[in-house]
Structure 1
Amino acid sequence: MLDLGTSSLAIVGGIGVIALAALVIAVVLRRQVLVADEGTPRMKEIARAIQEGASAYLTRQFRTLAVFAVIVFGLLFLLPADPEVKLGRAIAFLFGAGFSASIGYLGMSLAVRANVRVAAAATRKNGRAEGAQIAFRTGGVVGMSVVGLGLLGAAGVVLIYRADAPAVLEGFGFGAALLAMFMRVGGGIFTKAADVGADLVGKVEQGIPEDDPRNAATIADNVGDNVGDCAGMAADLFESYAVMLVASLILGTAVMGEQGLILPLIVTAVGALVAVLGVFITKVRGSESGLRAIYRGFYLSALAGVVLAAVGAYVYLPSTFAAIPGVSEELAGHPGDPRLVVSLAVLIGVLLAGIILWLTGYFTGTTSRPTLHVASTTRTGAATVVLSGIGVGFQSAVYTAGIIAAAICAVFLLSGGSIGLALFLVALAGCGLLTTVGVIVAMDTFGPVSDNAQGIAEMSGDVDEEGAQILTDLDAVGNTTKAITKGIAIATAVLAATALFGSYADAVRQGMAEFADAGAEITGGIVGAMMSYEIISPITLVGVILGGATVFLFSGVAIDAVTRAAGTIVFEVRRQFRENPGIMTGQTRPEYGRVVDICTRESLRELATPGLLAAFAPIAVGFGLGVGPLAGFLAGAIGAGVLMAVFLANSGGAWDNAKKIVEDGHYGGKGSDAHAAAIIGDTVGDPFKDTAGPAINPLIKVMNLVSVLIAPAVVQLSVPADTNHAVRIAIACVAAGIAVSAIALSRVRAARADAGEHNGSRQEATAGSH
């Protein structure tokens, strides 16, 4: 039994203090953002409308998600474990979910106050540098909060539960991942329904600018940027941080005992120092590009993270694996220096983040060849724009997946062939990547804040031409940083899922060991095949196929949900233009609140289907087919997930910035046929990059965590006994029934929406004939 010594407890206590310090710094940064000038009365009025819409949406969403949290809290008590661990895991689940929700709300609440301040900054002499600093420090507040709450949760559980901390932290990670997935899906549906509806009716049909105050969907569009990109992404990166910690603690304890439990906390604590450095050194110098300043801040802070993590490893670890107390027998004979091995694993993780940053920027940036190519195809119509963007997405997925695979191979080589150490090093590489999470969150929040600032400036009419160009430039930088952080988040998700894959195998081994100790025996035949991990086994291959298929189904459900919600918005905006001619002349104010309400209702209605699919698909496969096919299911989900997520994110990013290139005056500029084609491409890409693609990250981690949690129960019910088999099949049937029913309900809603759209089109035609 693992028992933490006094020195380890002191280190964990110190890490808890660092976590609290990170939260204090977040408060200081928040005050710095809020002291900036809010601009003109018209700017304040528009910003207030965005604030009210975003707050109302998240409040209603949290009320809905609270029901799911209570249900899952109860279900966790049904899983086999010691009573103390059961209770701790369930409570940790609530804390993980609560922290994830808090991070999301914090990101949104500050972003909707910073946007008007960035817009106001553009009216002053040094507007570019001041606006960029406000936007980046807004993200810095969220980044410091991610680091602080993540470390505080993990350190608190270790201090309270000691040896049982890894098992209890499974609940913490699961709560964070589940809430993040719901917030990602719900926020993504909201923001893209509003965005697509605003673009199709306002820009394409009415020929008015993107953020024209005459468009009834423009406030909802700006609200959506915050609930999707700020709240959703902040929660997503927090759960990545939490889940990576959970996986590394489980695997570290298995291979290196006490020091394997403490080491990941040391590496991630470095992230707090790196976050402070990155936020304060990222400043625009003179007239330089905001993107250049952000890149400089990221790379310098990443280098500092590598150095500090190496210092921590060399101070904490001995010079040989054999000298580590509680090290596994397999690892005791490893010839390498654990300090060097760990430092190199962290370096690989940080290098992976840097390469992904560059690669994503290459495929989505406004000055890079792929996006310039997509922009050039606008001359031949919307079809070629869509095709070229899809081509960019497919190719970028291959390169990105190859880079991630190379990083995992490099980590495996460091392990000397030890699977257990290799998985732990993958987790440490992920922790190394996440030493930069504070800067990554700041980069992501920069995007929606600058986007909102441009919208507020355009709607208010209080910014001159020079200020408008500053905000346009910042918005273009924000588009690239959002795409980059999506790429890094995907890489993090793959590393976390790979590490959780190892945690799943460890959970299965422990379950089997318990039955072996009790004299039970799992023999050959069908049951033996169900417990086998051999990929050549047909039943395991079935699991691989089902895992990949679940990713495709999840993506399709998410995009369908945006399509239905956007259709509702299109009809509403058209109705307002048709029934209130004064809107176009500026004499009548559009009903902004009605569109916000529709987006809120539609997004929350669509929330359950993808969530139920993610939670119950692995339960159905595990109890129905066994632990071997469930391992295949996870492998298939990871493989398909990384390719699908990168494809969706990068194709959407390329379409978005191709539109920016045209709007800057190329190929005819605004109002041209090329611009109309670019808008169609951007509209197709919206649910790709901001709904389905980002939601895959928490999806694969939720499915892995569900599998880790149910693995002991699956093993228990797979022991040859007729009663156990009956219970196992019954559980599988119920889980499959819930998942299938959720999909069926989604199809029913689609049929109703189609019928409504048909009637709406007929009514429009009738109105037009009169």
Structure 2
Amino acid sequence: MSAFLLAAEGDVVSLSGGNLGYVFAVACIGVVALVMAAVFRREVLSADEGTANMQAIARGVQEGAAAYLNRQFKTLGGFAVLAFLLLLVLPGDWNVRVGRSIFFLVGAVFSALIGYLGMWLSVRANLRVAAAARDQGRDPAMRVAFRTGGTVGMATVGLGLLGAALVVLLYRDDAPSVLEGFGFGAALLAMFMRVGGGIFTKAADVGADLVGKVEQNIPEDDPRNAATIADNVGDNVGDCAGMAADLFESYAVTLVAALILGKVAFGEQGLVFPLIVPAIGALTAVLGVYITRTRPGENGLRAINRSFYISAVVSAVLCVVAAFVYLPSSFAELSDVSREIAAHDGDPRIVAAGAVLLGIVLAGVILSLTGYFTGTEHRPVQDIGKTSLTGPATVILSGFAVGLESAVYTALVIGAAVYAAFLLGGGVAMVALFAIALAGCGLLTTVGVIVAMDTFGPVSDNAQGIAEMSGDVDGPAAQILTELDAVGNTTKAITKGIAIATAVLAATALFGSYNGAVNEALAAAGAQAGELTTAFVRNVDVPNVLVGLVIGAAVVFLFSGLAVNAVGRAAGAVVFEVRRQFREIPGIMDGTGRPEYGKVVDICTRDSLQELATPGLLAAMAPIAVGFGLGVGPLAGYLAGAIAAGTLMAILLANSGGSWDNAKKLVEDGHHGGKGSEAHAATVIGDTVGDPFKDTAGPAINPLIKVMNLVAVLIAPAVVQLSVGDSANTPLRLGIAVFAVLVIVTVVTISRRRPTAMGAEQDRDAVSAQVG
């Protein structure tokens, strides 16, 4: 209510009537995007559901996915309440603190809604894709899968635009501070969903592959394998729900960074133009979804890439037009900017248009680069397939090398885009940082199509699984689903690459926001020059700042290790359970006995939810420990280290995992001996190593670095307040740091002490069975 009262008072409203109209139009476009999501959803649900056997299998997947997400959201409720209360006690204006806390919950709820919608529709679209392939052919099946992703994509951009526009309409000049809460809520929940869903899906996948393919020599989605239902459930809670929430938080956090910096760099227009750019992207995303059709004899990936490039080009043209129509020709004509920025001799239209174009071009380059390193038609994956002839060790070595090499090229491309955007600023720091944020907004114009591409993958994978488990799809229809599954593997890898780029741009822009927050807090505290140079210097050659940088990079490695270890533990439990069922339930192998699918789903659910607290508390507490313990300078170093290490690690994990997965697909298509050969077994081992890389640890790094940046921005005023001036309180500051360190040590210790499988009793049973 206080927001409405403040908005009604003319002396605090910073937006003119014309700009308010633009923001209102953006909110309306957000609503239009949600309407289009409903239209696409109706098209998907109107498709045929296939045979009764297919529907029965799909119901099992639907029930398992819904049960998992419901339990996950209940678990996360406590974290949300705690974060809401902590945001209230941070320094600042009471009205802003309340708004920030409320919109923290809004961001978290929106992220959860996107994830749940992605899961709910994908578990109903999977059998419809299988039925369409069986009865109608490739193009109808592909259309159902892509329209499913289109539904989630339009919901993502719709809720993102609507949420950001509402904050600007309600809070006007204070919108950037309130938006910190909105972005933090979206990022925190996305990280939890990414980690939890990733552990679930890869525990089931690895367990199913190791016992089913390697030990029992049965197909991937054979109904005799007790982990098959859990594997299909995991595709939806990890790749659909988790990735949808991940891309939504990328959308939200990039907008947050752009609006925070835009207010300083471009004044009133800086609160509006970052909303106009993704609003254009929302409209062109509809075009991208509708024009995705394969031509006769054309590979499905080529059709998807064509629609992506067309929508990206249309977005680029419209964004350039918007920049030259909306923005003035000189910085002096911008409303409410500093004298330094007003004296800038550049053209804001060229700066804005160039930055947006950089982001759009970056998306296209990463699409091509990631496709090259992970696609079955290119040399890297083909070379990994050839190494399968010499065993699993060479498969793992070659795939890991592909990940390392691709990380270098992709990081250099992202770095070049960041530096080019920085140069557009013409030497004015805030303008340069705003240009980087606008590059992220440019990349966001493609998010609607990117989400559609990502969701296409697990839906196609599930469709193939349902077809194989039901036995009702064979011949050309089965081959269509195999092709769509391979295309989906590549699109998932591509979207991970673009998500990483978005994360880096957003984190870099938030890094600038952090420096701005520190400077404001220092000025408010009346800090003297001596205090600044001794306690808060932010030069990287200062030892304490370098220590912070090393800690930031180390946290990324620790986070990745915890995530991979969690998958290993849960997968071990699944392996023991599936082995037990093959051993103890009579008739499984000849088809007369029915596996207990629910037990594997329960194991994956239990173990994934147990692991949620550790990465979440690590992401929140590590910046608190560094900031309050070492100061704002080392915290700046910490963020720089986390961004650099996170970029390389995320690309390494995503691309190595994607290349192993598609090398397996290459062999399964008949190369190097085909299914059942020793080469196939070698690529299966490589794929099981890559599963937690590409679907758990790698994607979770994206929200991790943004959560840590947002935590740093939020705590910066408190760190300064307790460190300089009349309110300095060293014992309290150090006490907070010690408490944060103790929390990290406790949760990591608990995580490390969890058993690597189900426990000693199961270990003894397994040994006894082998001896017997």
TM category (shorter chain) comes to: over 0.9
Structure 1 Cα separation of the partners of residues 316 and 534 of structure 2: 44
1:540 to 545, 552, 556: 545
| Residue of structure 2 equivalent to 1:495 | 505
Deviation at 1:157, TM superposition (A): 0.8
Deviation at 1:2, TM superposition (A): 6.7
* Conserved 8 A contact 2:64-2:230: yes
Matching of residue 724 in structure 1 with residue 729 in structure 2: yes
Q: Deviations over 1:573-617 (max 9, x none)?
A: 000000013111111110001110110000000111011000100
1:354 to 336, 349, 364: 364
Amino acid at match of 1:702: V
Amino acid at match of 1:421: V
Matching of residue 254 in structure 1 with residue 261 in structure 2: no
Matching of residue 588 in structure 1 with residue 560 in structure 2: no
| Residue of structure 2 equivalent to 1:56 | 67
| Residue of structure 2 equivalent to 1:43 | 54
Amino acid at match of 2:263: T
Matching of residue 14 in structure 1 with residue 19 in structure 2: no
| Residue of structure 1 equivalent to 2:5 | none
Structure 1 Cα separation of the partners of residues 632 and 703 of structure 2: 22
* Conserved 8 A contact 1:2-1:258: no
SS of structure 1 residue aligned to 2:676? coil
Q: Deviations over 1:733-766 (max 9, x none)?
A: 11111111110110111xx336x55543432232
Q: 5+ unaligned residues in a row in structure 1: which ranges?
A: none
Q: Deviations over 1:281-313 (max 9, x none)?
A: 111223311101100000000001111111111
Deviates more, 1:188-197 or 1:270-279: 270-279
2:653 to 636, 639, 648: 648
| Residue of structure 2 equivalent to 1:765 | 767
1:454 to 435, 460, 464: 464
| Residue of structure 2 equivalent to 1:67 | 78
Amino acid at match of 1:572: E
Deviation at 1:572, TM superposition (A): 0.3
Matching of residue 733 in structure 1 with residue 738 in structure 2: yes
* Conserved 8 A contact 2:582-2:588: yes
1:619 to 603, 618, 624: 624
Amino acid at match of 1:765: V
Deviation at 1:414, TM superposition (A): 1.3
Rate the CA distance shift 1:342–1:720 in 2: closer, same or farther, 3 A: closer
SS of structure 2 residue aligned to 1:753? coil
Matching of residue 753 in structure 1 with residue 756 in structure 2: yes
2:487 to 477, 481, 499: 477
Amino acid at match of 2:528: E
| TM-score relative to the length of structure 2 | 0.97
Q: Deviations over 1:47-89 (max 9, x none)?
A: 1100000000000000001110011101111100111001000
Structure 2 Cα separation of the partners of residues 503 and 155 of structure 1: 20
* Conserved 8 A contact 2:525-2:725: no
Deviation at 1:132, TM superposition (A): 0.7
Structure 1 Cα separation of the partners of residues 311 and 533 of structure 2: 50
* Conserved 8 A contact 1:121-1:131: yes
| Residue of structure 2 equivalent to 1:81 | 92
Deviation at 1:720, TM superposition (A): 5.7
Matching of residue 602 in structure 1 with residue 607 in structure 2: yes
Deviation at 1:351, TM superposition (A): 0.4
Structure 1 Cα separation of the partners of residues 32 and 568 of structure 2: 44
* Conserved 8 A contact 1:662-1:669: yes
Deviates more, 1:453-462 or 1:263-272: 263-272
Q: 5+ unaligned residues in a row in structure 2: which ranges?
A: 1-11
Rate the CA distance shift 1:372–1:529 in 2: closer, same or farther, 3 A: farther
- What percentage of aligned pairs have identical amino acids? 68
Structure 1 Cα separation of the partners of residues 661 and 72 of structure 2: 28
* Conserved 8 A contact 1:567-1:757: no
* Conserved 8 A contact 1:256-1:328: no
Deviation at 1:769, TM superposition (A): 3.8
SS of structure 1 residue aligned to 2:589? helix
Matching of residue 376 in structure 1 with residue 386 in structure 2: yes
| Residue of structure 2 equivalent to 1:175 | 185
Amino acid at match of 2:693: F
Deviation at 1:723, TM superposition (A): 6.1
* Conserved 8 A contact 1:522-1:719: no
- Which aligned pairs between 1:509-548 and structure 2 lie closer than 5 A? 509-516=519-526, 520-521=527-528, 523-524=530-531, 528-548=533-553
Amino acid at match of 1:575: R
| TM-score relative to the length of structure 1 | 0.98
Matching of residue 682 in structure 1 with residue 692 in structure 2: no
Amino acid at match of 2:152: V
SS of structure 2 residue aligned to 1:583? coil
Rate the CA distance shift 1:331–1:721 in 2: closer, same or farther, 3 A: closer
- Which aligned pairs between 1:156-555 and structure 2 lie closer than 5 A? 156-516=166-526, 520-521=527-528, 523-524=530-531, 528-555=533-560
Matching of residue 712 in structure 1 with residue 717 in structure 2: yes
Amino acid at match of 1:217: A
Amino acid at match of 1:731: I
Deviation at 1:113, TM superposition (A): 0.4
Structure 2 Cα separation of the partners of residues 319 and 722 of structure 1: 45
SS of structure 2 residue aligned to 1:123? helix
Q: Deviations over 1:212-250 (max 9, x none)?
A: 000000000000000000000000000000000000000
Deviates more, 1:317-326 or 1:695-704: 317-326
Deviation at 1:440, TM superposition (A): 0.2
Structure 2 Cα separation of the partners of residues 720 and 317 of structure 1: 41
* Conserved 8 A contact 1:215-1:590: yes
- Which aligned pairs between 1:548-567 and structure 2 lie closer than 5 A? 548-567=553-572
2:41 to 3, 23, 30: 30
SS of structure 1 residue aligned to 2:538? coil
SS of structure 1 residue aligned to 2:272? helix
* Conserved 8 A contact 2:277-2:441: yes
Structure 1 Cα separation of the partners of residues 443 and 767 of structure 2: 55
Amino acid at match of 1:579: E
SS of structure 1 residue aligned to 2:722? helix
Q: Deviations over 1:194-214 (max 9, x none)?
A: 000000000000000000000
Amino acid at match of 1:762: R
Deviation at 1:332, TM superposition (A): 2.0
Structure 2 Cα separation of the partners of residues 762 and 440 of structure 1: 47
SS of structure 1 residue aligned to 2:446? helix
* Conserved 8 A contact 1:2-1:257: no
Structure 2 Cα separation of the partners of residues 479 and 22 of structure 1: 27
Amino acid at match of 2:665: K
* Conserved 8 A contact 1:529-1:537: no
Deviation at 1:721, TM superposition (A): 6.4
- Which aligned pairs between 1:90-169 and structure 2 lie closer than 5 A? 90-125=101-136, 127-169=137-179
* Conserved 8 A contact 1:93-1:174: yes
* Conserved 8 A contact 1:211-1:218: yes
Amino acid at match of 2:735: A
Structure 2 Cα separation of the partners of residues 336 and 54 of structure 1: 53
Amino acid at match of 1:747: R
SS of structure 2 residue aligned to 1:708? helix
* Conserved 8 A contact 2:721-2:728: no
Amino acid at match of 2:661: D
Amino acid at match of 1:130: P
Q: Deviations over 1:477-510 (max 9, x none)?
A: 0000000000000000000000000110111111
How large is the Cα RMSD of the aligned pairs?
1.2
* Conserved 8 A contact 2:568-2:756: no
Q: Deviations over 1:514-559 (max 9, x none)?
A: 122xxx53624xx743311111100000000000000000000000
* Conserved 8 A contact 2:157-2:282: yes
